[in-house]
Structure formats: C-alpha cells, structure tokens
Amino acid sequence: MLAAILAAGIAVGATYALIGITYNLMFSASRVMSFTAGQLGMVGGVLGALFIGRMGIPIIPGFVLALAGCAAIGVVTEFIAVRPVLKALDQHLYVLSTLGLALMIQQFTAIEWSTEPQPFPRLIGVVSGGPFDEKFWLPVVACAITVAGLEYLYRRTLVGRAFLAIAEDNFAARALGLPERNLRVASYALAGVVGGLAGFASGELLLAFFANGAMLNFLGFVPVALGGLGNNRGALIGGLALGIFQQAANFIVGGVFASVAVFTVFILVLLLRPQGLFGAPVARRV
Amino acid sequence: MQRSLPYVALFGAAALLPFFSNDYWAVIGARAAVYWVLVGGLNLVVGFGGQLAIGYVALLTLGAYTASAMVARFGLDPFLAYGMAGVVGAGAGVIVGLPALRLRTFYFAMTTLGFATIVTQIALAWQSVTGGGIGIAGPELPQPLDSPWGFYLFALALAALVTWLSSNVAHSRFGRSLVAIRDAEVAAEAVGIAKPRLLSTVFLFSGACAGVAGGLFATLQTYITPDAFSFDLSVTFFIAILVGGRGSIMGPLIGNVLLTLLPEVAAPLVAWSTFLYAALLLAIVLAMPGGIAALLDFRNRRPLAANRSIVPRPERISGHGTARGDIVLKNVVLAFGGVRAIDGLDMTIRPGEVHGLIGPNGSGKTTTLNVISGYYAPQQGEAFLGTVALPHGNPQTRAALGIARTFQTPRLIGEASVLDNVTIGATIAGTAGFLETVFCLPRHRADEKRLAARAMDALATVGLDALADVRADRLQHSELRFMEIARALILNPAFILLDEPAAGLSSEEIARLGALIGAMAKQGIGILLVEHHADLIFDICDHVTVLNLGRELASGTPAEIRAHKEVVSAYLGG
C-alpha cells in the first residue's frame, strides 16, 4: 500500500509542481497570477487525447501539436487578459480578466469536447499496472526534465538571464534595452508549454476531463502559495509534498476528508506565513 | 428620498408582474429575486469592499442544506429554518472571509474557490443529513406562499428588504470605509478604520443574506442535490456584480436580473451561458471597468468648470481636539536593511505651532512622519504623545488620539464623491453600531446628518464646497491636496502632519495654503510640515528642524536656520 501511495502521490505531486511552475513563469514575467495556469494543464490532456486518441496522429507529432496548442493559449492569455491590464497592476484587474478567459477555455472544452472524463491513449505500454506503470512515472519524468531545462535556461543561456532580469526588476531591465514585451510573450508561451506538458504527461492518470482545469488551478496554486511566489524550487518541494499528503490522506481517511485536510493545511500555512514557507516578507507601503 | 425612487419604481413594476404573465415567468422572477438576496449582500463584499470572493456558492449550499435538513429531518417550521440558514450562513461567511484579513486578491479568491469545492464534496459525502447524491427535499411553504406567484412575491419582498438593508450599509460610515479599504487602504488606516472588525461585520451580514438565499433556493428548486450548486452559479453571482459596477447597488441589481434572464430569452444559448458570462466579464474588465453603474452616472458626465480656483476660508477654522501634550520623539532609530533612515532623532512638536521638517531627499523626513503616524515601528527610541508612548506599527490608533495626516501622493478614493472622501476622515466620530445602521435607526440618521454637515464645513474651509458631489478622480492635483487637508480637518484634530502639501501647487495656491496652515496653528492645532518649498517653510514655521542622512543637522527658528552655515551649504544653497 505504501508503494501505491508513494507512486500516486509523487505522480500527482509532480503534476501540481508543474502547474505551480506554470504560475511562476507567468508571474515572474508580468507580476500577474493567472487563472489560466490550471486550464493549460487540462487543455494539454484534452489535446493529447484528441490528437493521438481520436484523430490517430502518431505520438510524437501529436505531443508536439498538443504543446504547440497550449503555447498558443499562453500567448493568447498574454495578449487579451494580461497586457491590457498591466498598466493598472495595483487594481488587480488581472484576477478578473484571467478568470474570465479561464472560464471561457473551460466552458468551450466542456461543450465542444465532453463533460465526461475521456480516456487518454497509452503512450509507451511497457509495464502495465502496479506502481511502476507509466501513468505514474511519466509526470515525474516530465517534471524532472522541466526543472532541469529551466535551470539550464536560467543559468546558461542569455535569454534565460534576460528572463531573470525582468523577473528581478522589470523597470531596470527595460532601461537596459531588454525587449521586455517580447520576453514576456515568450514567457507566456513557455508557461503554456509547461502547463500543457503537465496535462499531457498526467493524461493517463487524470484523464482528459474539462473539470481538471479548476482542480489543477487550485492544487497547482497550493505549492506556489506554500513555496513562495516565483520560487520554482519551493513549488517543486511543495507540489511533491502536497501530492504525497493528499494521496496518503485519500488512502487513510477517504476522499472528502483528504480534500478538507489539504484545504485546512493550505489555509493555516497561508494565514501563518502569507509569503509562503520559503518566501521573504515584503513591507514598505507608504 | 430621491435616491430610493428608482428602486421603488423597479420593485413596484416587479410586484405587478403577476397581472401580466404566466407561471413560467413566476419561477424565473423568483429565481432572480432569490439570487439577489445573495448578490445584494455579496455586493458589499465585492463591489464595495473590493474583496474577490468568487466562491460564494459555498454559502448558498450551506444555507440550502441547513434549511432543508431542518425541515426534512427535524420537522422545523420553514420560516425558522430560513432563519437557521441565515445564522449558519453568517457564521460560515466569517470563516470564508477571515483569510481576507491576511491575504490579498488572487490568494483570497483561491481560498474562497477552495471552500466552494470542499462544501460541495461534504454535501455529497454526508449522506445521513444531505441525502448525498440522491438529494433532499427543500422546505415547503404554507399557503398562499406555495403557489408560484405566492413564492415569487415572498422572494421579491425579501429581495426588496435586502436592497434596503444593503443600501443603508452602503450609505453609512461602514459602506464608505469599505470603499476606502478597497481604493486607499493606507488612508483608511490613517483615519482609524479597523479593517478586521469592519470586514468581519460585513462578512457576517453578507453570509446571513447568502444563507437565507440558500434556504429560498432550496424551496424554489423543491428538491436539491449537490449538482445544483455548480461553480458556474458562483461565477454568475460574482459577474453580476462586476457587470453592474463596483460601489453601486442599482448596477448589480440590473446585472443580476439581466444575467438571470439572459438564458431564458436566448434559449439556444443555454449551454453557452457560462461561456457568455465569462466573455462578458472579460469584456467589462477590458472595455468598461465602471459597468452599468458608470453608464447610469449622468451627473459625473457633466463637464466641470474650467479655470476653477481654490479659495480657502481660513477664518472658518474653529474647533480642534484638545491636545494631550506635545508629540515628542526620543532617540528614534529606524533602519531599512543596512540603511539607517532615521538615526537617533529627538524632536518636539507643540500644539499651536508650525514645525517645519526639511532636508535633502532621503534624509528621513517622510520616514519620521510615518513613525509618528504609526506605519513604521522604530528599532530604538519612542514617539510619545504627552507622556504616553504611541503604539508602534498601528496607524489605526492615531485618529482617536487626535493625530491626522496627509500624504505625499494624495490617497484619494477615486470612485467616491469628494464629500465622501472627506467624510471618511471622521469615521471614528460615528456613534451608531452596525445593527443600528442596517435598520436605519435614529442614531444612524443623526450620525449621517452630523457627519455630512461637518464634511461640508471642512470643504468650505479649504474652498472646495462647490465640488462636493463630484467624483474625486475628476479633480485636479492641487484640489486633491486641499481635499486631503479637509479630510484631516474634519476630525477636529490636535495635530496635523502634512507631507509636502505644496508639491505641485501654483505660487498663488501655495500662498493660500500658507494662510490656511497659519490659521490652523493659530487655533491651537500642532502642525508638522514636511516641505521642499523653502519660502513657505520660512514664512509660516515657528520652528524648523533640518535633517540630513537621518540625523538632525540643525534646529531652531527660521531666522537661525537661514543663518546656519552647514544648512546653507548642504541644502539651501547660496
């Protein structure tokens, strides 16, 4: 049973961590938290099932197409829900605009795809069943590749350093001549890819289901809130911890109480440390 | 009276609906009325308080199951069951709302969303009470309320009641404080608004409304299952308010009716209704942030007179609070990281004296002011009022001690009228409690009359009385500076702290400002004046302190400072 809890916990935890990283990517480029983060995960799963399962496209092109679709949604988010409200960031209109867009994506999927969970195709199919089934390790692999890739991007490449510069001080970065707007669009596209990857890799586990968007929105936000905004390592640790905690609670006390437990922990941690467990407090308002 | 006319017309017309229409519309109309019972309360939280509570369906669910279970399992009277639903809703409203005291915007929205998910799951799992997926019958009302039109009129009456109650709150110090917290939280603290208490009270009220709405909803549905409480419904409530416009009651009321009717008049679109609402939300945010209320606000579309000039009437200043002694700073040290913004400062501000505080940028002037008004807690030393130490990091306490202030950048409540912007300064002078306000009892009405008179008086003193009804964000910069002074004066303070009041003013306006400040001091108010205009400082100050790098460089009468060698070379030039 322990193996089953760990396998499922780490798998969903990796998915939550990826959605958390999606939140972070959008946040560091624009100081905006977007409700579309979880929907990107949902769309990744639905597009994968659509292209590979329903339309019969081979796995690799289907995968690329699904991620490209999510990247496009990321860019659309930036154009219609983020850019117009960036001028008045302190009014927090982005909460409303991204909520509107996220709901549109969710409802469109519900109507045009299905309101029932749909199967996601087997991708590799070597070990069937048990804790080493691909549905458990695919999200972990996706998460590991993403984290390693982002580390490489930020530490070794010029573009990655430009991303960091914008996240650190947008104003100064612009003064140095960095193409802030293009980098922001690129960040949103990247966020789309990461979110889509989360949904695609966890497709066999969570199925292609429109309601996954809202679920991932919340459970992907928990690691961000716990780990501190913009902190990818915090999101990774927080995501895995959340996944294992949730699955353990699921096995021990049952689904409803597991949800209540997750929610309670989330609220308590936030109330005690609003800046997250690994974040630093901010002050100076006057 | 005039304010209530549109509402009387609207509800009057709605009450006539039974004469023109069939049972089908009775159900639709009842639904709109039931939703409004919730939305009307939620409007105070979202529209006025600016708290993004998107998961209010949780409270509707709780109310619905409480009322249904009370009737079905314990055989309670349906009206008592509604009352119970209201009580449970009020309690849950506070629980849902409390995180708002610590968490901002997106975080708070997420917690309400999480709460909504949890409640539905519990409803599904707790079968012995809720009937689980099979459901439970809603409370049945006795005759004649059990007919479609009977229930419609009953729900309509409650909707009208909620409109009246929420309007009483909206047009009181509570409503103004909510808007102040939304648009100018820092200013709200300076005038003594205690956010935790205010928000808990309002969450209690809106939770009660939502609970009762839940009970009514269960009756309307006749049978409820957890499916009935979809997140879409929650979003509909939220969007109705934003479509209607923030800080308005009529706007969200119309928004609520429109959103309830939309799927009915466009039947093929029913499946797409949530999609359309979401698109509407996006469109409103991007294109028309004021919503329906902004369309209806004809008064603020009239152009203002050009070439307005501010003519203060310093002679009108009369009363002021009795000072409990001088404001004394003793060896105050405050460092931000490695920077010592204030480095061992001693200073005394006396009642009836204008105390100038000057120095180069970054010398710690505004920081000193922020220590006195409680935004920063010094690491060493104390600020005293008389012999009592001023509590640290607690700006809400200053108004009650008779210390008012203005800000370097005017902290206006843009969408409120100039009069309301000033009235907010005397929030702590209100005597009526929340319940008295909700039911518009005599003490509340007396409060409103007195505060309005005091605000008009303060506006007349600074010379802005002609603009009292104008929305504050339409004012010029200089007018905002005087508006902030009026907001300080209405408190009848013992001390006023002015942070660069002359910045951005013309030379004529500066002269008038100087006369006004002089008159305030003559009446016994102690004034701390942080300024860069050396002329103004030397004209009106009784005492000047010069700061440099957080330390006192010189202190004395204007004449002594003007002759001080180091000050001249470091700051004044010459």
- Which residue, among B421, B38, B32, has the nearest Cα to B261 in the 3D structure? B32
Query: Between chains, do A225 and B99 touch, taking CB under 8 Å as contact?
Result: no
Q: What is the pLDDT of residue A86?
A: 87
Q: What is the pLDDT of residues B324-333, one digit of tens each?
A: 789 999 999 9
Query: Between chains, do B52 and A96 touch, taking CB under 8 Å as contact?
Result: yes
Q: How many domains does chain B have?
A: 2
The H or E element containing residue B294 is: helix B291-296
CB atoms within 10 A of CB B492: 20
Q: What is the pLDDT of residue A16?
A: 96
The H or E element containing residue B249 is: none
Query: Between chains, do B107 and A97 touch, taking CB under 8 Å as contact?
Result: no
- Provide, as residue numbers in chain B, all residues whose Cβ is less than 8 Å from the Cβ of A97: 281-282, 285-286
Q: What is the pLDDT of residues A123-144, one digit of tens each?
A: 887 767 777 888 888 999 999 9
Domain membership flag for residue B381: yes
Residue B311 banded pLDDT, cuts 50, 70, 90:
confident
Smallest CA–CA distance, residue B369 to chain A, in Å, is 10
CB A41 within 8 A of CB A73: no
Query: Between chains, do A92 and B118 touch, taking CB under 8 Å as contact?
Result: no
- Whether pLDDT at B397 is above 80: yes
Query: Shortest CB distance from B117 goes to which of A100, A101, A259?
Result: A259
What is the C-alpha to C-alpha distance for residues A82 and B413, in angstroms, rounded to an integer?
25
Residue A110 banded pLDDT, cuts 50, 70, 90:
very high
Q: Residue with structure tokens 């939550």?
A: A16
Query: Between chains, do A100 and B278 touch, taking CB under 8 Å as contact?
Result: yes
CB B60 within 8 A of CB B53: no
Query: Between chains, do A101 and B282 touch, taking CB under 8 Å as contact?
Result: yes
Q: Give the number of C-alpha atoms closer than 13 A to the C-alpha of residue A273, restricted to the C-beta side.
A: 16
Mean pLDDT check: name the lowest of A53-67, B384-398, B441-455. B384-398
Label the pairing between strands B354-358 and B543-548: parallel
Smallest CA–CA distance, residue A90 to chain B, in Å, is 10
Domain membership flag for residue B244: no
The H or E element containing residue B132 is: none
Query: Between chains, do A256 and B370 touch, taking CB under 8 Å as contact?
Result: no
**φ, ψ at A39 (rounded to 5°):** -65, -35
What is the C-alpha to C-alpha distance for residues B28 and B23, in angstroms, rounded to an integer?
9
Q: For residue A156, how far is the Cα from the chain centroid? A: 24
What is the overall mean pLDDT for chain A?
89
B35 conformational bin, left if phi > 0, alpha if psi -120 to 50, beta if neither: alpha
- Provide, as residue numbers in chain B, all residues whose Cβ is less than 8 Å from the Cβ of A96: 52, 242, 281-282, 285
Q: What is the pLDDT of residue A25?
A: 93
- Provide, as residue numbers in chain A, all residues whose Cβ is less than 8 Å from the Cβ of B286: 80, 84-85, 97
**Residue B500 has what DSSP assignment?**
S
Query: Between chains, do B118 and A101 touch, taking CB under 8 Å as contact?
Result: no
Convert A232-243 to b/e letters by CB count within 10 Å (16 or more is b): bebbbbbbbbbb
Nearest chain A Cα to B125, which residue? A256
Q: What is the pLDDT of residue B22?
A: 85
Domain membership flag for residue B253: no
Query: Shortest CB distance from A104 goes to which of B117, B278, B289?
Result: B278
Of B170, B196, B231, the residue at which a domain comes to its end is B231
Q: Which residues contact A219 (CB under 8 A, 6 or more apart)?
A: A12, A16, A19, A38, A242, A246, A262
Q: Give the number of C-alpha atoms closer than 13 A to the C-alpha of residue A184, restricted to the C-beta side.
A: 20
Residues B209 and B333 in one domain: no
- Which residue, among B541, B335, A225, has the nearest Cα to B561 in the 3D structure? B541
Nearest chain B Cα to A104, which residue? B275
Q: Which CATH number covers residue B547? A: 3.40.50.300
Task: For residue B93, count CB atoms less than 10 angstroms from its CB and return exposed for 0-12, middle for 13-18, buried for 19 or more.
Answer: buried
Query: Shortest CB distance from B271 goes to which of A111, A255, A286?
Result: A111
The H or E element containing residue B383 is: strand B380-385
Which string of DSSP letters, residue by residue, matches A199-260? HHHTHHHH-B-TTHHHHHHHHHHHHHHHH-TT-HHHHHHHHHHHHHHHHHHHHHH-HHHHHH
Instruction: Give the mean model confidence (pLDDT) for residues B369-374.
Output: 92
Mean pLDDT check: name the lowest of A14-28, B307-321, B453-467, B539-553. B307-321
Q: Give the number of C-alpha atoms closer than 13 A to the C-alpha of residue A78, restricted to the C-beta side.
A: 26
Nearest chain A Cα to B336, which residue? A284
Instruction: Give the mean model confidence (pLDDT) for residues A75-86.
Output: 93
Query: Between chains, do A260 and B118 touch, taking CB under 8 Å as contact?
Result: yes
- Provide, as residue numbers in chain B, all residues whose Cβ is less than 8 Å from the Cβ of A260: 118, 121-122
- Provide, as residue numbers in chain A, all residues whose Cβ is less than 8 Å from the Cβ of B280: 100
The H or E element containing residue B533 is: none
- Provide, as residue numbers in chain B, all residues whose Cβ is less than 8 Å from the Cβ of A102: 278
Query: Shortest CB distance from A286 goes to which of B113, B115, B370?
Result: B370
Residues B357 and B467 in one domain: yes
Of B205, B231, B257, the residue at which a domain comes to its end is B231
- The structure tokens listed for B406 are 């203005």
What is the C-alpha to C-alpha distance for residues B332 and A85, in angstroms, rounded to an integer?
41
Degrees, nearest 5: CA angle B297-B301-B306: 145
Instruction: Give the mean model confidence (pLDDT) for residues B147-152.
Output: 92
Residues B201 and B324 in one domain: no
Nearest chain A Cα to B287, which residue? A84
> Which of A78, A89, A99, A216 to mutate against chain B (most B CBs within 10 Å)?
A99
Task: For residue B287, count CB atoms less than 10 angstroms from its CB and return exposed for 0-12, middle for 13-18, buried for 19 or more.
Answer: exposed
- Provide, as residue numbers in chain A, all residues whose Cβ is less than 8 Å from the Cβ of B365: none
Of B186, B201, B231, the residue at which a domain comes to its end is B231
Task: For residue B63, count CB atoms less than 10 angstroms from its CB and return exposed for 0-12, middle for 13-18, buried for 19 or more.
Answer: buried
pTM: 0.91
Cα radius of gyration (chain B): 28
Domain membership flag for residue B118: yes
Mean pLDDT check: name the lowest of B43-57, B278-292, B515-529. B278-292
Query: Between chains, do B278 and A103 touch, taking CB under 8 Å as contact?
Result: yes
What is the C-alpha to C-alpha distance for residues A34 and A43, in angstroms, rounded to an integer?
15
Q: For residue A137, how far is the Cα from the chain centroid? A: 17
Nearest chain B Cα to A93, which residue? B285
Instruction: Give the mean model confidence (pLDDT) for residues A147-151.
Output: 93
Domain membership flag for residue B332: yes
Domain membership flag for residue B263: no
Q: Residue with structure tokens 């802005």?
A: B464
- Whether pLDDT at B302 is above 60: yes
Interface of B with A (CB under 8 A): 52, 54, 99, 102-107, 109-111, 113-115, 117-118, 121-122, 124-125, 186, 231, 235, 242, 271-272, 274-275, 277-282, 285-286, 289, 336, 366, 370, 375-376, 407
- Whether pLDDT at A286 is above 60: no
Q: Which residues contact A181 (CB under 8 A, 6 or more apart)?
A: none
- Whether pLDDT at A280 is above 70: no
Domain membership flag for residue B173: yes
Degrees, nearest 5: CA angle B154-B160-B165: 125
Instruction: Name the percent of chain B lying above pLDDT 70.
Output: 99
- Which residue, among A45, A24, A26, A42, has the nearest Cα to A138 in the 3D structure? A45
Convert A63-94 to b/e letters by CB count within 10 Å (16 or more is b): bebbbebbbebbbbbbebbbbbbbeeeebbbb
Q: What is the pLDDT of residues A150-194, one digit of tens each?
A: 999 988 998 889 888 888 888 888 888 888 889 999 999 999 999
Cα radius of gyration (chain A): 18
What is the C-alpha to C-alpha distance for residues B43 and B209, in angstroms, rounded to an integer?
11
Task: For residue B344, count CB atoms less than 10 angstroms from its CB and return exposed for 0-12, middle for 13-18, buried for 19 or more.
Answer: middle
- The structure tokens listed for B213 are 């709405």
Q: What is the pLDDT of residue B131?
A: 86
Q: What is the pLDDT of residues B5-57, one digit of tens each?
A: 889 999 999 988 888 888 888 999 999 999 999 999 999 999 999 999 988 99
Q: Give the number of C-alpha atoms closer than 13 A to the C-alpha of residue A186, restricted to the C-beta side.
A: 13
Nearest chain A Cα to B232, which residue? A103
What is the C-alpha to C-alpha distance for residues A45 and A117, in angstroms, rounded to an integer?
11
Q: What is the pLDDT of residue A251?
A: 87
What is the C-alpha to C-alpha distance for residues A154 and A173, in angstroms, rounded to an integer?
15
Strand partners, B438: none
Q: What is the pLDDT of residue B320?
A: 64
Interface of A with B (CB under 8 A): 33, 80-81, 84-85, 92-93, 95-97, 99-104, 107-108, 111, 214, 217-218, 221, 225, 254-256, 259-260, 263, 266-267, 270-271, 274, 284-286
- Provide, as residue numbers in chain A, all residues whose Cβ is less than 8 Å from the Cβ of B336: 284
- Provide, as residue numbers in chain B, all residues whose Cβ is less than 8 Å from the Cβ of A255: 121, 125
Query: Between chains, do B113 and A84 touch, taking CB under 8 Å as contact?
Result: no
Query: Between chains, do A103 and B275 touch, taking CB under 8 Å as contact?
Result: yes
Domain that includes residue B523, residue range: 316-572
What is the four-CA torsion angle of B76, B82, B88, B91, rounded to 10 degrees? -150
Residues B331 and B210 in one domain: no
Instruction: Give the mean model confidence (pLDDT) for residues A111-124.
Output: 89
Q: What is the pLDDT of residue B1?
A: 57
**What letter represents residue B330's amino acid?**
K
Smallest CA–CA distance, residue B367 to chain A, in Å, is 9
Residues B438 and B560 in one domain: yes
Instruction: Give the mean model confidence (pLDDT) for residues B85-92.
Output: 96
What is the four-CA torsion angle of A258, A262, A268, A270, rounded to 10 degrees? -170
- Which residue, among B390, B396, B387, has the nearest Cα to B372 in the 3D structure? B390
CB A182 within 8 A of CB A174: no
Go through chain B and tell me how many residues it has. Answer: 574
**Sign of the alpha-carbon dihedral angle for B261, B262, B267, B273:** negative
What is the C-alpha to C-alpha distance for residues A273 and A278, in angstroms, rounded to an integer?
9
Domain membership flag for residue B274: no
- Which residue, among B226, B205, B201, has the nearest Cα to B86 in the 3D structure? B205
Q: What is the pLDDT of residue B297?
A: 84
Domains of chain A: residue spans and CATH: 2-272 (1.10.3470)
Q: What is the pLDDT of residues A223-251, one digit of tens each?
A: 988 888 888 888 999 999 999 999 998 88
Query: Between chains, do A104 and B125 touch, taking CB under 8 Å as contact?
Result: no
What is the C-alpha to C-alpha distance for residues B260 and A78, in angstroms, rounded to an integer?
31
Query: Shortest CB distance from B54 goes to which of A80, A99, A263?
Result: A99
What is the C-alpha to C-alpha distance for residues B179 and B245, in angstroms, rounded to an integer?
13
Q: What is the pLDDT of residue B574?
A: 55
- Provide, as residue numbers in chain A, all residues whose Cβ is less than 8 Å from the Cβ of B277: 103
**What letter represents residue B490's amino acid?**
I
